[in-house]
Chain A
Amino acid sequence: MNLEKVAIDIRPRTPWEAIDIGFLLARRWYRRLWLIWMLTAVPGLLLFIAAGLILPGSGTKWALFLFWFCKPFYEPPVLMWVSKALFDEQSTTQEILTEIKKSLSFKWLLTMLLLRLSPFRSFSLPVVQLEKLDGKKKKQRLALLQDASEIAILLTVSGFFLEITLTFSLLMTLFLLIPDELRWVDFGTFVFLPDKWLLLLCYLTSCSIIAPLYICAGFMMYISRRVQLEAWDIEIGFKRIRQRLERKKNGATRALVAGFLLTSFTLAAVPGIGRADEPDPQAAKAAITKVLQQKDFDQKVTVYRWVPKKKETPETKSNWAEFWKQLFTYLEEISKNIAPLMARYGEFLLWCCAGGIMGFFLFKYSKLRQWLDWRFTGQRDSAAPEILFGLDLRPESLPERIDTACLQLLEEGHKREALSLLYRGTLSILVNRRHLAIRSSFTEDECCIEVRKNRPAKESGFFTDLTSMWVFLAFGHRDPDLEACRNLVNRWESLYGVPL
């Protein structure tokens, strides 16, 4: 590291200024940094796509997740290059990659994975990658350096949202570029096209755009903190004094300054790009106190000089400012008054919502019950109707031996009454004993279908034949064959031949 060749003006900066200068650096070498990042990220993505194909589920989804999760792995080459370029050390991409390859180890991989979980990754990365610290030392070093961790977190969060925004902006641009006549999908479907390959591509592009800015901003926050702690600006200042004096070729002064610089270098312990040695705080404090007690630091000189006096101007109040002030005061008062009222209404609304949700679930539950009833009609427990199609289906309304009663009616020549009784008796059994859900709107055929769905073939066959004969007699006004009627009664007896 050669501080004299540093590409930026070294001076203490706030974290915001550091981020700003980091962006400037990224812009200066953007093409190079982008290419380095892509050189690492693209092979990684291809690897993840291949891995995604092996894993269960959508390969692209896996690739997207793994690519996002392994983002810290694509950043070290960019950081290495920019850290060298800052001090005017131009390296080739190959050199950078060779250097990265050397640092590859299981511990390094683990550290990088842990960095994924760190919200201030951009700031921690230089400590890990450039100072090559780990474990407790890394923790101590980070604790010393991190004075604006919340800004580093903010940088990470901003980067994340910028990536998302950029991804969807790219997708929207592509979507809008499709002519209306050829636009076959809406935007939602377009984003999640089969296999999400377009989403993956746009995400890679947006990450590549943001990554150099993010890495440089984090790196410059790190550098800025070190400038503050290690007084790089003072060191550079002294070096410049030396150079100026060297030019004057004043040997005595040179010796004096050289001696002073030697002392100051020892005290400041300026490191290379590697980690700086930390001075013992107690010893340093004692040394500082001793220096301050020397005569040179105890001189007090009073100097008088003219100072321009500020012209006193009467404070003019802006009408707009006054208006806004009054408005906000008014609104504050209103809010104070209506807050309890709003709270009461809010509570009321919450209760209404809760009631609505409860009602919705009850409604859904009743629908579900209906569906279950329909599916498992044989098992349902609901009360059977007493009257269906105008027919009394109560068992007590029917004779004890339906078959005998029907046969007797047939012998007497009352075919209609006999078949009516048989039909009514069968319906009563199906509804009361077999628990079939026969509705009053069912026609004859619909009843047959219901029986066919829920009862054995023998029983449904009998019911179909009975219905046909009944319809023939009732709606066709025809006299059925007596023998066929007797046959039906016998079949009834074999199916349900027990007293009701």
Chain B
Amino acid sequence: MTDKNTADTLSFVEGIRKTNALEQEILKSVVGQDQVVKEMVIGMLAAGHILIEGVPGLGKTLLARTMAKAAGSSFNRIQFTPDLMPSDITGHSLFDMKENIFKIRRGPVFCHFLLADEINRAPAKTQAALLEAMQEQQVTIEGKTLPLVRPFQVMATQNPIEQEGTYSLPQAQTDRFMFKIFIDYPGSADEEKIVHTVTRSSIGDGLDCGTVTTILEPAEVLGLQQLLTGMTVDAKIVEYVVKITRTTRSWNGIDFGAGPRGAINLLRAARGSALVNARDYVTPDDVKSIALPVLRHRIKLSADMEIEGYTADQVLTEVLDSVEAPRL
């Protein structure tokens, strides 16, 4: 946590340099997940929360921890379980016998990067407490409202293979995540590199983030996020973004398409993508390249499409192929 909550003013050139350095630093520790790292960095720049789906053991915690360290930010991890209570996340008040007053003990949510591991294992009430904090950027304990530190980003994980005893996130709640990222197995060469790196001069299976260098300060992260707001976005790009989200609503095979929040997040993510690609203006490529992680959890496929085995990504690819890209 830092007291320095004001954004540093950065030039675009400095911003681009810092972003690239951050990405490269994370990639040193997280091997074979280049696309995931890129999307995570974009998510951080766009100040969006991220839902990660992948089987256990692919480095989700390492990724979050590395990113927090490289961004010079505090990191907390909560393992969601069926008996987890909202106060276990937000915090609670304790009666101090010496001073004869109630004191507030802050929960793990008070950090810059929060990893909510297996978020779908906790009941809806606990999920809602976190999702409220994500949306409002503040928590209320015993009637007292406490703002969360900034930057604040939640990385929630879901395991796609074990569905017993889970509480699926409702559509309204998944919509609050900017991205849904699929983390997949690394390639053979990358896996060899991971095994070699992790087992070399280390004891046990603890995550080693010791070699990660701090690239940014929390204030610089805020500065980068601020930088995105000053980007050049042509009206045709906004039109393109809206056209894509509106097409998801009328597309045959999609029961419920993305709402305006989807369009907003798509544009914010496209800005982040532009910065990662060393530009201070958004192009249709930025929109199209980031559309899948932004929209895949915001649409609901029709029953027949699901029965036929179509995935949201396949349908969205068709949607994107049908929308004319702007040329001005």
* A and B: bona fide binding partners: yes
In the bound complex, residues from chain A placing their C-beta under 8 Å from that of B237 are: 475
Known A-B contacts A443-B283, A443-B288, A444-B283; the reply to A475 vs B323 at CB < 8 A is no
**How many residues in A have their beta carbons less than 8 Å from beta carbons of B?**
19
**CB contact between A439 and one of B279, B282, B283, B321 (< 8 Å): that residue:** B321
**CB contact between A476 and one of B281, B323, B327 (< 8 Å): that residue:** B281
Are the CB atoms of B328 and A441 closer together than 8 Å? Answer: no
CB of B184 within 8 A of chain A? Answer: no
Are the CB atoms of A440 and B281 closer together than 8 Å? Answer: no
Which residues of chain B (240-299) have a CB below 8 Å from chain A?
279-285, 288
Known A-B contacts A475-B232, A475-B234, A475-B237; the reply to A389 vs B324 at CB < 8 A is yes
In the bound complex, residues from chain B placing their C-beta under 8 Å from that of A423 are: 327
In the bound complex, residues from chain B placing their C-beta under 8 Å from that of A389 are: 324-327
CB of A390 within 8 A of chain B? Answer: yes
Min CB gap B183→A, angstroms: 25
Min CB gap B319→A, angstroms: 9
**CB contact between A441 and one of B232, B283, B321 (< 8 Å): that residue:** B321
Q: Once bound together, how far apart are the Cα atoms of A420 and B234, in whole Å? A: 16
Q: Once bound together, how far apart are the Cα atoms of A441 and B322, in whole Å? A: 6
CB of A500 within 8 A of chain B? Answer: no
> A459-491 interface mask toward B, CB cutoff 8 Å, 1 = contact, 0 = none?
000000000000100111110000000000000
CB of A347 within 8 A of chain B? Answer: no
Are the CB atoms of A441 and B324 closer together than 8 Å? Answer: yes
Min CB gap A227→B, angstroms: 68
Are the CB atoms of A445 and B328 closer together than 8 Å? Answer: no
In the bound complex, residues from chain B placing their C-beta under 8 Å from that of A441 are: 320-325
Q: Once bound together, how far apart are the Cα atoms of A478 and B285, in whole Å? A: 18
Q: Once bound together, how far apart are the Cα atoms of A476 and B324, in whole Å? A: 20
Known A-B contacts A441-B320, A443-B288; the reply to A475 vs B281 at CB < 8 A is yes
Q: Once bound together, how far apart are the Cα atoms of A361 and B237, in whole Å? A: 42
Are the CB atoms of A477 and B327 closer together than 8 Å? Answer: no
Are the CB atoms of B281 and A445 closer together than 8 Å? Answer: no
In the bound complex, residues from chain A placing their C-beta under 8 Å from that of B324 are: 389-390, 440-441
In the bound complex, residues from chain A placing their C-beta under 8 Å from that of B284 are: 443-444, 475
Known A-B contacts A444-B285, A471-B283; the reply to A476 vs B232 at CB < 8 A is yes
Known A-B contacts A441-B320, A441-B321; the reply to A476 vs B326 at CB < 8 A is no
Q: Once bound together, how far apart are the Cα atoms of A442 and B322, in whole Å? A: 9
Are the CB atoms of A476 and B280 closer together than 8 Å? Answer: yes
Which of B237, B280, B323, B325 has the largest number of chain A CB atoms within 10 A?
Answer: B325
Q: Once bound together, how far apart are the Cα atoms of A443 and B236, in whole Å? A: 13
Which of A420, A423, A439, A475 has the largest number of chain B CB atoms within 10 A?
Answer: A475
Are the CB atoms of B325 and A440 closer together than 8 Å? Answer: yes
Q: Once bound together, how far apart are the Cα atoms of A475 and B232, in whole Å? A: 8
Residue of A nearest to B327 (CB): A389
Q: Once bound together, how far apart are the Cα atoms of A475 and B279, in whole Å? A: 11
Which residues of chain B (10-66) have a CB below 8 Å from chain A?
none
Min CB gap A445→B, angstroms: 4
Q: Once bound together, how far apart are the Cα atoms of A446 and B317, in whole Å? A: 14
Which of A391, A439, A441, A477 has the largest number of chain B CB atoms within 10 A?
Answer: A441
**CB contact between A477 and one of B234, B285, B322, B323 (< 8 Å): that residue:** B234
Min CB gap A163→B, angstroms: 40
* Interchain Cβ contacts under 8 Å between A and B, 15 examples: A389-B327, A420-B328, A441-B322, A441-B324, A441-B325, A442-B325, A444-B283, A444-B285, A446-B288, A471-B283, A475-B237, A475-B284, A476-B232, A476-B279, A476-B281
- Give the 3 A-B CB pairs with smallest separation, nearest first: A389-B327, A476-B281, A474-B328
Chain A residues engaging chain B, CB cutoff 8 angstroms: 389-391, 420, 423, 439-446, 471, 474-478
